[in-house]
A = this chain, B = another copy of it.
Amino acid sequence: MNMDDDNSRERSEENDIEIEEGEYNERKRSGRLFERFGSETADNDKEFGSIIREPLLWKNRTNTTSQIAIVGANVCTIESLDYEIVENELFKQDWRSRNRVQIFQYIFLKWTLALLIGLGTGLVGCFNNFAVENLAGFKLLLTNDLMIKDKYFKAFAAYAGCNMVLAIAASALCAYIAPAAAGSGIPEVKAYLNGVDAYSILAPSTLFVKIFGSIFGVAGGFVVGKEGPMVHTGACIASLLGQGGSRKYRLTWRWLRYFKNDRDRRDLITCGAAAGVAAAFRAPVGGVLFALEEAASWWRSALLWRTFFTTAVVAVVLRGFIEFCRSGKCGLFGKGGLIMFDVNSSQATYNTPDLLAVILLGVLGGIFGSLYNYFVDKVLRTYSIINEKGPIFKVMLVMAMSLLTSCCSYGLPWLSKCLPCPFAEDQCPTEGRSGNYKNFQCPPGHYNDLASLFLNTNDDAIRNLLSPGTKEFHISTLLVFFAAIFCLGIITYGIAIPSGLFIPVILAGASYGRLVGTILGSLSNLDTGLFALLGAASFLGGTMRMTVSLCVILLELTNDLLMLPLVMLVLLISKTVADSFNKGVYDQIVKMKGLPYLEAHAEPYMRHLVASHVVSGPLVSFSGVEKVGNILHALKLTRHNGFPVIDEPPFSDSPELCGLVLRSHLLVLLKGKKFTKQKVLTGLDIMRRFKAQDFAKAGSGKGIKLEDLDITEEEMDMYVDLHPITNTSPYTVVETISLAKAAVLFRELGLRHMCVVPKTAGRPPIVGILTRHDFMPEHILGLYPDIHHHK
């Protein structure tokens, strides 16, 4: 296929130095990925093969075209928090002089970047809402006009046609330009912040497709949200700004050199994710808490402060935009944009039946939520088979789904009876595109309550469900809507469009909550709108398994503090119930994609192992002053990212561990060609030759590649001093340390390489290097299948 060639060309251009994707795929094809680790595959960046549970990733032969497993193509771990190396080792001497001005610059830029991320994400959020509201508004008005003229078939054709065009646009963008933009994006961002830098997940093309794909998808009537994509968009914007733009598209800013390290980049992306939530829900505090609870794996107090600033900027931008649009300058942009729901909880007291009803909601929400996760998992695995057949299949799947969704939305309201308009309402049936009383097929003075849920934007449908009042929606209406949305939500996630999970879950939850509220009716004093909100909360708790952040997001969405205790209760119950069945939906997707996500807790069986049990050789190490040829050879043969440097006589009395060099730094050093004929220390010379930023972490796929080096035969026999680029303070563990403790150390400090040193004297100074993959349950259980897997 044509596009595949294109993809592979782009791939070879953007190839990250850390894992050659070609090799990876080749190995996968040759089936070696499924072997137990023999000595030939055992290296620092080995992939972990698991026979026990196969992540989806490894089932697919060609990953780049599989929508789901897209990110697996280039799983490389991002660097550790060992960011000190350049500052600490290379520039120890002039560190003080650099301190004054540069630290001020750094702080200033840090805040400027946070501001820019907030501005960027806020503007994208505004644009997204503006575009969706106008596209969907146009579509709905067109349909409405035709309905009024009793041209029912034409109305359907117009409705389904608009949806189809938008769906094709969204899926074509996704399938052909940036397959990584499909899906929610939150799992990928979460994995990135855990240290897994998946292929092209934060690339500019992904950003572009995510923005427009999300607009077309949401406007196209799919049961998808804009929230997940907004989080991903925020992260992409942050990454782009942090990298100083894309070199590919000639956008670079030199003054961003301070941020070319993993820690700062990770901080920026955390800010971006928070800004995304803030922009999607107009919930600045909720955004911060989301980043803290769900997205980030490492958290620092300083980050709280900066994230908060970013989301505050987003809030200001959104406020300005709404203010601007209030005067009617934004076309069809109306109340549905930048959702803010009104829930009536004036009822300040709760009785026992109320509480029992709420507990029931929580339990049911937990069960439904875990069922939702279960089905999403199954559907994703099924779709991946279709999606990996090629981009055209992806588009066709999306088209089929679009047709199905259109049929449901347009067809199901016919099941509903026409209800006479209530007297109190001044506008029934509703004119324009939103509102609770849609005329649909009914005679004047009557309305179809199911149509007001289906033939609306998702935001407006949620607003209708949460609206106060008791008699607007019939029980059968809510039942049909709940069933339809629950199923559509499940089968929509996984098709090749950017699709958030929040909105489908809120829709299903709110309809089910309102259903329960309507059924219980007289038994409880609570408003059915409040029931709908609690239903949404229980469903969210059951699928996403967040607590505080969801609570605050709902609080900010509804602007009503009185319902806080009830929402807390319902979230606690539904999370507890759902946790006993399966994992949260994002964790599940991360696992299914085969991303080597480091869990916060060590598995219990790790206590029975020690570090040396999982270290596998042979180890490739360098001398302090090493032959260029040896280095090149090692770089070519292995895909290790870190190599131990061992000082040997005459530079030390006995062989001792000097430290660790990174592949990327070695490549820079070799490119600089500061070689000597003799085995001598040339540290000072080298330090004069290079500046700190030469060793700064390049953007994804932008570092020096092995092929860029042109080392002559003569140079191969020369020596190079590795001391200046060696991190002489690597974190080490003794070989007999409990693996659980080593895992805690590895995870808490965000390491990438951990040196294992021998306990007894008289052996080589390093036993091996532990990397992220060595801590994966799949790897350990592969090595020791007898260890019983305690849950």
Contacts and interface: CB of A to CB of B under 8 A. Distances in A.
B84 A607 contact: yes
A284 interface: yes
Interface stretch (A153-161, A409-417, A471-479, A561-569): A561-569
Contact of A309 (B293, B572, B738): B572
A729 B611 CA distance: 10
A355 to B, nearest CB: 9
A547 B657 contact: no
Given A565-B319, A653-B760, A308 B741 contact: no
A95 B610 CA distance: 17
Contact of A608 (B92, B301, B731, B734): B92
Nearest to A314: B565
A761 B759 contact: no
Contacts of A738: 84, 88, 728-729
Interface string A734-762: 10111011001100110000000101111
A447 to B, nearest CB: 31
Nearest to A551: B285
Tell me how many chains of this kind the complex includes.
2
Contacts of A737: 729, 731-732
Interface in A290-341: 292-293, 299-302, 304-305, 308-309, 312, 315-316, 319, 323
A759 B732 CA distance: 11
Interface in A76-96: 81, 84, 87-88, 92, 95-96
A352 interface: no
Contacts of A305: 547-548, 575
A555 interface: yes
Most central of A548, A604, A759, A788 by chain B CB within 10 Å: A548
A761 B757 CA distance: 12
A537 interface: no
Contact of A312 (B284, B302, B569, B744): B569
Contacts of A569: 312, 316
Contact of A759 (B304, B308, B657, B741): B657
A248 interface: no
18 contacts: A88-B738, A88-B740, A285-B551, A289-B289, A302-B600, A309-B572, A312-B572, A315-B568, A559-B562, A656-B759, A729-B737, A731-B733, A731-B737, A732-B734, A732-B737, A744-B749, A748-B748, A761-B762
The 8 tightest CB contacts between A and B, nearest first, are: A761-B761, A729-B738, A312-B568, A559-B561, A729-B737, A748-B748, A315-B565, A729-B741
